[in-house]
Structures are given as structure tokens and as C-alpha cells.
Structure 1
Amino acid sequence: MFLGIDLGTSSLKALLMSADGTVIAEASHPYPVNAPYPGWAESDPQNWWNAGAIAVRKAVQSYAAQVKAIGLSGQMHGVVVCDEVGNPLRPAILWADGRSHQALALYQALGAEALRPLANPLTVGMAGPSLLWLRQREPEVYRRARWALQPKDWLRLRLTGRAATEPSDASGTLMADVVAGTWAIALLEALHLRTDWLPPIVASRAIAGTLTRSAAEHLGLPADLPVVAGAADTAAALLGSGLTTAGACQLTLGTGAQITLLRDSRSDPCGNRPILAPQGCTHLFHAALPHQWYTLAAMQNAGLALEWVRQLLGLSWTDLYDQAFTVEPGCDGLVCLPYLTGERTPHLDPTPAGAWIGLGLHHTRAHLARAALEGVAFAIAQGFAAVQATGANPDTLYLAGGGSLHPQWRQLLADVLQRPLCSVETRSASARGAALLAGLGIGQDRPVGETWTEKQAILGGSATQIAPSPQITVPNSLPSALEAAHQRFAQLYPAVRSQL
């Protein structure tokens, strides 16, 4: 059996998987995210460590002696600065943290050619800008730290006593040469940022250490188990969901929305060159398997915006959907901009505000709800267009996440995107991907080899392991009123932005 541990933003999940890919058990334990100042997002890594013991013991129970290897996945972009053995010198700075916005100017001053190896837009919350903030604001901590690690890499250090990272997490730091899979040393030196605290980069499936006796006692597992490097949560989730072939594209709906397109350097027409949208608004990260990376469009305001609207209108989720879909497409001229927290793809702008525009006496609460759903769908469509601008044109999107369950909402998304949506929900996909990597690390590749075959079989209705009864939502012809609303939406963002 293989154990996958996923260190998320607000909880840690542990998943026990058999050698044939069957999930035996899973468990999770929560911990808080702290915001000591506006715009900050931090966690105490000791809470992660304690949650690991609770979740692993619940998942493994009487199977401890049968666990053959451990794999890890974790939240991306954040950073833990710690001493040689992993004692944190301050709380972890997380991906949602916005304190490093001024540090982006230091990157920009280097010029486009120097930034090219990053193959990613400059955004706050990534490790590089956060460490530049640390250098300026907490110089003593900056000086004393032995390691600057991604969250799951810190956890592995505590498990094995050895520091390492792997390409999928390193590529999301704004400190790595994404194509080469190495640290971007020349760029970091130009930023006057330390490089001696960066760990070696190993393959995601590589054995990065073995479980120490003290860590084994903490988790209730045998000592000396192989611990595989693992992958960042999105990369692990792609693997865990069975998306292992180039061209597979998934839309995940949760608090935000992400569109991920898997690419392979051996078959992609762009070869080994970075694949970016012309505007540089999509991300490019390494995937969990060799020779693969993925293009990512990240939209911040999906479930987050809809939950705000739901509460504002005093509706349950059922009532929101029921009332919204009594209104005709286009909402009788009402358009919603859902930008309550700024936006990443395609705007890379932390400052836009949300709005309902075009309000009249004839509009009702149902119109407001429908316009919000349409606005989120239009924003997702702009993210999909950014992915297409990298030279890809997937004909089907796999649909995952808790925000994709209502059938009429799925239909609206399919109509706006003009693509079939295949709803495939793999529970705890990141933890399952971590467990699959554990198997790969010790030479068990059968479950990974089967996952994409099963995913392809979904469209023929014969998949059994990943999604026993998938739902496929086929788009209707785009209603003219919905198309007109989409065009108004695209025109309103720059017009409203110019007035802020």
C-alpha cells in the first residue's frame, strides 16, 4: 500500500491506496490560516506537523505495516524559512499573501530578457517576492535561515531530515528556470537574493529520503519507509485524476477557478520552449511526470464571488440557482463584473472592483443572481481564451470541483465556453496523485498507466475507478442575448477599470 499526504492551505489530507490504485481510506485534519495584518496570509508549520499525525493515523489505522512508501503534495508558492533540521524561524508566508507587491518592481527592473527563464507572469504570493520582502523587513530571520522551502518540502524535511524540492513546486516560485528545471541562479544573483538556502531539485518520483525514527513514531508508521519527492497540489491532482496525456484540459471550480492544460515536450509543437499567452497572463509549471508541464489560467472570483452574492441576496444555494434560471439569458441587459478580489488571468490586476451594471426597475433579485453566474462564466471564458492563445484548442473540458454540481450551472458554462464538459470528480485528487508518485518511486507503475485509459473510457461510459457515472454536458447553440451580454462584459472591464 502507498500513503499520499496532501498539505493543503486549510487542512492536511492523508490517503491510503492499494497497489492496484484503489483508495482504501482517507482522513483530514484542519488548521487555521492567519491574517495578522490586512493582505497577509500565514500559517504555523507546527500545525501542519500536528495535523499530519492525526490524519495519517486515522487513514492508516491497522494497515501501518503494509505501507511501502510515502508521497507528498502541497499548496504551491508559499515559503517556510527554517533552520537545518526544519525548525521554522517565523510563520509560513502563503500563496494568498499580498505583502510582496512592491518586490515585483525589483523583478521588473531586470527587463524582459532576464525574466524569460521564469516563463510566468509576476504575481504576489510566490516565494521569490516573499523572500525579497523578508530581506527588507526581517533581515535577522533572512540571515539566520538555513533553508527556504515550499510547504510540502518543509514537511518532507521534517519526515526525512533531508532538504529537497522537485520541478513542479520549484517552477511556481519565480526563482526557477522553468524549461531547464533548475534554479535561475543568474536572475537570483541579479536580485541580490540568497541562493544557498535553496534545496536541490530532484524528480517528482525520486526517493528523496526515508522516514526517520522520530517521524515514524509521530505518524504511527514503520521507520525507514521511502519518502518520494512528490508534486505541487495541482500537478498531483492532474495525476490523481488521470490527466496524464498531453492535451487533457480541466476546469476546476471552487473558491476560484483554474483551467489546466497538460503539455508534453516530446509532442507539443512548441517543443522545449516556454508556452505563454501573448499577454503573458497564463502560468507555466512542470507536471508530475517527466517531460510534461501544464499551462494554467487562474481566476480568483468564482465560488468566492457567488458565495458573496448568495449571502448578499439572502438566498440558499438551492434558491440562488432556482431563481437565477427563471431569468432569460442576458438578464435583460444586466451585466455583473465579479472582481471582488482583483483578478489574475487574464488581467493580472489586483485593483479592479466588482459591479452590477445596467440596473433598471424591471430587474429583480433573480436577475442579480443570474447576472452573477453569467459574469463568473464570462470571466472563466476569458481564462480559457488565454489558454487557447498559447496554441491549444481542446475540444472537451473535464469539469471538477464542488462548485460544478448544479446541472443548469454546468449547462451555462458549456454554452459560454462552447465546449462539452465531462464532469469527473476524483475525491482527494492531490492526495491520490501523491500516493501514485509513491508507487512510482519504488517501481509500481500500473495504477498510473491505467488512469488515463480509464479517463478516456469515460466518454464511452466504461470507466469504473475514477468516475463510475460521469455526466457530459453538451453545449447548446449560443443564445444571441447571451453572446451580446458576453460582448458587453468584455467591454465593461477596461471602461470601469479606467475610472478607478
Structure 2
Amino acid sequence: MDVVLGVDIGTSSTKAVFSDLQGRVIADSFRAHVVDRPAQGRVEMDSAVWWTELCSLVAELTAAAPECTIVAVGVSGMGPCVLLSDAEGHPLRPAILYGVDARSVGMADEVLEVLGGEAAMRARTGSGLSAQAAGLKLAWLARHEPHIWSRAVRFTMPSSRIVELLTGEYVLDHHSASQCTPLYDVVHEAWIDEWAALLAPGLTLPRLGWPGDTAGHITADAAAATGLPVGVPVAFGSIDAWVESLSAGRRQPGRVFLQYGTTMFMVAPMTEPTPIDGMWTTAGARPGEPTAAGGMATSGAVTDWVRQLTGADYAELLNEAVVSGPGARGLLVLPYFAGERSPIADPDARGVIAGLSIGHTRGDIYRAVLEATAFAVRHHLEVLASHGVSADTLVGAGGGVATELWPQIVSDVCGIDQVIPTVSIGAAYGSAVLAAALVTKVDIDDWNPPAVRLQPDPANAALYDEAYADYRRLYYETRDTVHRLAGRSRDSSKVRPSGSTD
């Protein structure tokens, strides 16, 4: 049986899937991993983990389905991330992760001055400078780690690093490049060479292609390491949320994709690459299909924090959240437990639980966290609407849609219908879609039709309207205090604990 291999390098795991050429999942598996947090606001990962986990997953899936012949490979990954390597392709330091790593934001004003101001930059790149911008991360590395930068020749992201190891090709897809602000022109869909020379001097920029293009073919060395057949085509791939959105149904204006994962991410199709305050305007998965995007710094990560803190399992928490009911018995949460990316772009934001009493239960807290992510989605949708990008349907996918409670809360809070596709196992399946398109014609609505349709419950509308207004006010009313606390947290991390002898 001919199958395609889809792989996704995520924040908390690497996932892989075998799919036949009609979209049926034959086998899938994953490897859990953790990121490194060497200091407040810094999030990194050893890139060797990505390759090790890919090799072990291919071996496992091949053993589970020995009758399958892999005919194409697709790869996606978290991003935008930055991994520097030398002329031989050897990594020089751990990869700096996407907007959850905020080390570079202090350089934004300086970079804007060099480029002629924010208006000039946005006109070309479509986005502002934030912790999300890979170009700003590169500028930070050039400035703060010159001993490493002097040896750097290439930069990759999780997906392009795996493509490089599989094919020997140094490439990057247009969408990932468009998140390398300010190095990519979203209007002309090309690198801005003069700005790259200023901010990332000496770095060779990768060859660009679209996520579904053929980046190269499996080399003999990669075949020996992975067991994949020599010569099999490999797609360029891209950042996970965009790849996953390709697997969730036909893209069209008004349909906003939501990725329910460790972080919550959303992708909205646009007709023109228009800058949107607090969000990112990017190249899409295909030429001439720009997107607006937003992402939370945490989402599923906070639900897992509650699980670990309480010692409960997810089934218990979900049942108790249902009992808690809309409004979480008067609890309100700001979900900024690791700062926030969009639309407030505040690395010093922090989580707030308001209204807590000794009468509240872990189920109330869990419900309030789910509602907080829904309020954050509504905030994003309001920002999109203020710039002429409409949303009439949400398309949900990812681990958070395994049960209906979370997506139903989002629909109730936002007042918008939502569809859940038949296969919602994550970006690895989207990578399989990209791989399949290299060898056959794919109609995604046939591959992965909607399985669940959710409608907002009008009985909850007034309660959630009131709670959302409180949610928006709570950030501004607590911001100064929270920022001071964030500063103290940074300071305390530098102080040796009392009684320490080392």
C-alpha cells in the first residue's frame, strides 16, 4: 500500500502519521519532549531531539504497518524559530523558539530606527516587530552572541531543519519566511536583501519555495539513518498552524482556523496583505493567498498546568468543568501565564485569577481557564473585524477538540458557528496532505470532511458578553501591578536562595 509520511515538530511533542492517498490514517504515534527555559522570557530546544524523534517514529510506524510503502514526505513544525548552523550544517547553539521567547523585544525600537520607522517597515512586511519576529531574533543573536554569530552561515526552523537533513537542501517556505520580520516582503513575496544585510550580516538566506512544492528528495545518508526510501520527494513544509489549517477544509474568506494546542493559534484568509495592529500579516500556504494570524503564548499549556497542580486527570477536570457551568461560578482568568503574543504583545503580562474564594473548586478553575482562551479568541476576532477581516465560521482542530466542551465554549463566547473536521490529530496530518499533493491530486473536502458542527447557545450570550467586558478591563486594571511583579520575578531568579552554598 502506498502511503505518505506526515511529521510535525511541536512544542511538547513530535508526531508522525502514515496516511494512504485517500486521506485515511493508517498509523500514527508521537514522542513527548520538553523545552528548555534557561532564564525568564527565554525558551530554547536542542534541535538534535527533532531528528532523533523523527528516526524513531519512522521505525515504529514502519514496524506497525510493514505492508506500507512511503512515496512522499511532508514536515511541519513550531515557529517561527531560529536555529543557527555553520557551513557544514552543524548547529551552533540550541534553537530559539517562537514568540514564547521574548529576549529580542528590547531591540525593536533600535531596529525600527535603522529601517526608517514602523510605517516603512509595515508597508513591506505587513507586521510589526514583536517577540514573534524571527528577523528580530537573528538581530539579537548577531548583537549579543558574536562568538557564535561569527561562525553562523545558515538558519533553519524545525520543519526546514528536518528537510535539510532529509534532502541536503537549504530551503525555507514563503510562509515561514514571512514570519522572519523584517527580512521578507509580503507584497512581492521575496527576501529584502538590504535589510537582511543590516540585521543578519554574513548570513546566507535559504532558497524559497511554497509549502507544497518539492524541496528535494531523500538522500542515501538520510535513508540509512531513517529507513525512508532513497529518492522519495519531500515537501517544503511550513509552520504547524498553517499546515494544520490546510487539512481542516477548503480555505476561503470568513473561515477562521483555530489550532487548539499547547498554544492557541488562529489563521484568517485575507484578500490583500493588509497590516493589522497587534497581529501578523503573512504569506499563506499558496502564492497570492495572504493570511492574518494571531497566537497566544499559552492555551493547552495552562490546562496542563491546572492538571498537574491539582493531580486530576483531564476526564475528571472536564466533567467538573461541565458541572461548574458557564461563568465558572464567578471566576475570571487572564490566560497570560507566559506573557502574551497577540494582540496585546506584552511579554510581561502574567496570569490572573480573579474572584477566587475558598468555595471554588478545581473544576471552576479549569472552566475559567477554558473560558479565558475563548475570550482571547474573541479579542482577536474583534481586532480582525476592525481591519475588515470577517469571521462567519470557525474551523477547529488539534488536541483540544477531542471533546466538545472547549470548542463549544469558544463558539458560545464568540457567537460564531464552528466545524470540527473528521481527522483532528494535528499538523502531522496537514503535513501528510502536503506530501500527498506531491504525488496525487488532493481534494481536502473529500479527504477530511466536517464531522461536528457546533452552534453558539443563545442562552449563554448575555453572561459571556458581560464576562468578556470584564476580561478586557481586567488586563488594563491589573497591568501595572502585574508588570511590577514580573520584574520582581526576574530579579528573584538572579538571587541565590538563602542557605545556598554553591
Do the aligned partners of 1:410 and 1:473 also contact (CA within 8 Å) in 2?
A: no
Matched, 1:305 2:299: no
- 1:40–1:290 distance in 2 versus 1, CA, 3 Å: same
CA offsets per residue over residues 127-153 of structure 1, 9 Å max, x none?
A: 222222221232132121221122221
Do the aligned partners of 2:37 and 2:43 also contact (CA within 8 Å) in 1?
A: yes
User: How far did residue 477 of structure 1 move?
Assistant: 4.3
2:399 aligned residue: 402
User: How far did residue 451 of structure 1 move?
Assistant: 1.1
Matching residue within 45, 48, 51 for 1:46 = 48
CA offsets per residue over residues 340-386 of structure 1, 9 Å max, x none?
A: 22222221111123333345687666655544443332222112212
Matching residue within 79, 97, 122 for 2:129 = 122
2:444 aligned residue: 451
Q: Secondary structure at the match of 2:392?
A: coil
1:489 aligned residue: 471
User: How far did residue 77 of structure 1 move?
Assistant: 1.0
Aligned length: 474
Q: Which is worse superposed, 335-344 or 413-422? A: 335-344
Q: Distance in 1 between matches of 2:367 and 2:23?
A: 41
User: How far did residue 418 of structure 1 move?
Assistant: 0.6
Matching residue within 371, 374, 382 for 1:377 = 374
CA offsets per residue over residues 367-409 of structure 1, 9 Å max, x none?
A: 5554444333222211221222231222221222333445454
Q: Secondary structure at the match of 1:248?
A: strand
- 1:216–1:367 distance in 2 versus 1, CA, 3 Å: closer
Matching residue within 68, 72, 75 for 2:75 = 72
What is the identity, as a one-letter code, of the residue corresponding to 2:119? E
Instruction: Kindly indicate which of the two structures has a greater share of residues assigned to strand.
Output: 2
Q: Secondary structure at the match of 2:259?
A: strand
* Alignment map for 1:68-467 (pairs within 5 Å): 68-95=71-98, 96-109=100-113, 110=115, 111-116=117-122, 117-174=124-181, 175-189=183-197, 191-194=198-201, 196-263=203-270, 268=271, 271=272, 274-277=273-276, 280-310=277-307, 312=309, 316-327=313-324, 329-330=326-327, 334-358=331-355, 368-424=365-421, 426-442=423-439, 444-445=440-441, 447=442, 450-452=443-445, 454=446, 465-466=447-448
Q: Distance in 1 between matches of 2:362 and 2:230?
A: 59
Q: Distance in 1 between matches of 2:392 and 2:91?
A: 46
- 1:363–1:249 distance in 2 versus 1, CA, 3 Å: same
Do the aligned partners of 1:4 and 1:438 also contact (CA within 8 Å) in 2?
A: yes
Q: Secondary structure at the match of 1:170?
A: helix
- 1:324–1:149 distance in 2 versus 1, CA, 3 Å: closer
Do the aligned partners of 1:299 and 1:383 also contact (CA within 8 Å) in 2?
A: no
Q: Distance in 2 between matches of 1:143 and 1:76?
A: 24
CA offsets per residue over residues 178-219 of structure 1, 9 Å max, x none?
A: 232211223334x44226421111232322222211111111
Query: What is the TM-score with the length of structure 2 in the denominator?
Result: 0.85
User: How far did residue 298 of structure 1 move?
Assistant: 1.3
What is the identity, as a one-letter code, of the residue corresponding to 2:291? Y
Do the aligned partners of 2:248 and 2:397 also contact (CA within 8 Å) in 1?
A: no
CA offsets per residue over residues 28-50 of structure 1, 9 Å max, x none?
A: 33444223333322222222222
Task: Show structure 2 runs of 5+ residues with no match.
Answer: 483-502
2:490 aligned residue: none
Q: Distance in 2 between matches of 1:364 and 1:66?
A: 51
Q: Which is worse superposed, 323-332 or 342-351? A: 323-332
- 1:374–1:35 distance in 2 versus 1, CA, 3 Å: closer
Query: What is the TM-score with the length of structure 1 in the denominator?
Result: 0.85
Q: Distance in 1 between matches of 2:42 and 2:304?
A: 22
Q: Distance in 1 between matches of 2:465 and 2:161?
A: 48
Task: Show structure 1 runs of 5+ residues with no match.
Answer: 455-464
- 1:48–1:75 distance in 2 versus 1, CA, 3 Å: same
Matched, 1:480 2:462: yes
Q: Secondary structure at the match of 1:140?
A: helix
